Amino acid sequence: MPAEIIDGIAIAAKVRARVAEDTAALKKRGVTPGLTAVLVGEDPASSVYVASKERACKEAGMNGRSIRLPASTTEEALLAVIDTLNNDPTVHGILVQMPVPKQISEQKVIRRIAQQKDVDGFHPFNVGKVFTGDVDGFAPCTPAGVQVMLAEAGVETSGKDAVIIGRSNIVGKPMAALLLQSGKTANCTVTLCHSKTRDLASHTRRADILIAAIGKPEMVTADMVKPGAVVIDVGINRVEDPSAPKGYRIVGDVHFESVREVASKISPVPGGVGRMTIAMLLANTVRAAQLTLEG
């Protein structure tokens, strides 16, 4: 029997509905959650992504705006913009869309954002909180979204073997940290694989929960998956396809058609994890606004 589809679109809609409810409650207390995205340069994909974040904020009743700066912007000028946002009480969440132009240090940008407004969860303080299990921190949106998907899909994680393919600071490492913690949708035994891992399939075939975030189109095939495993595909890759209307199609890191015949549950691409990232960004921003009322 083909695997049950973990519907990221439906789950993200539930998260966004809760965000709208929390936003309405905050407004009654005189606080409107505000998220500001800063885009440096004119990368088309980044521009579309920033616009979608702004639109999602407004749909939830939040203040969402974007600041667009030319690609020639200096590091000092960008840091000055961040300082202004750090000091603006109407802004509860700040994100700088990556990548930034080569004259700007990404690490300096990440460290300059006030930790209490770092709703992307990239500031070293928030990274440390995630790894130590401190729930006061902001977890990066994509792995946090995966954890919500597992919970909503009814996946039992306690004591299970989780294998993550990919060791990025955005997904792989924080995903491992979240699943390792003691708590709901956690308590896993985690293996973190990467480009230098020997005999990758020997690790993936023992995974009860397999999370692919390596950025290689359809790399995970059916023979690499344990029968009955839960498979979460974080990858978003564009591959050429002359038969497609646009000349390409979007696929994940998992070969969906073959793996769905082996797994018990699987997230599709598109329609899976991607929708969760923005939903969790909104959720983090609302929580940042709530924290301002808690002192």
Tokens standing for residue 122? 């990239």
pLDDT value for 37: 96
Mean pLDDT of 116-124: 97
pLDDT digits (tens, 9 = 90+) for 37-50: 999 998 888 888 88
The highest-level CATH class for domain 140-275 is alpha beta
CA 157, CA 109: separation in Å to the nearest integer? 35
| Mean pLDDT, the chain, whole residue set | 96
Model's pTM, two decimal places? Answer: 0.95
79 Cβ contact partners less than 8 Å away, ≥ 6 residues apart:
108, 109, 112
CA 143, CA 177: separation in Å to the nearest integer? 10
- Of the residues 22, 116, 118, 120, only one is catalytic, namely 120
134 is catalytic: no
88 is catalytic: no
Q: Which residues pair with 165 in a beta bridge?
A: 193, 212
pLDDT digits (tens, 9 = 90+) for 210-220: 999 999 999 99
pLDDT value for 246: 86
Peptide bond just before 268 cis, omega within 30 deg: no
Tokens standing for residue 12? 């993200």
Encoded amino acid at 171, one letter = V
- Of the residues 97, 116, 147, 181, only one is catalytic, namely 97
CATH number of 30-114: 3.40.50.10860
Residue 295 pLDDT greater than 70, yes or no? no
Mean pLDDT of 234-259: 92
Of 85, 92, 117, which Cα lies nearest the Cα of 31? Answer: 92
99 Cβ contact partners less than 8 Å away, ≥ 6 residues apart:
43, 106
- Of the residues 22, 53, 147, 253, only one is catalytic, namely 53
120 is catalytic: yes
What are the residue boundaries of the structural domains of the chain, listed by start?
30-114, 140-275
pLDDT value for 294: 82
Q: Is 247 exposed, middle or buried (0-12, 13-18, 19+ CB in 10 A)?
A: exposed
Residue pair 92/289 in contact (Cβ under 8 Å)? The answer is: yes
CA 100, CA 43: separation in Å to the nearest integer? 10
CA 218, CA 255: separation in Å to the nearest integer? 4
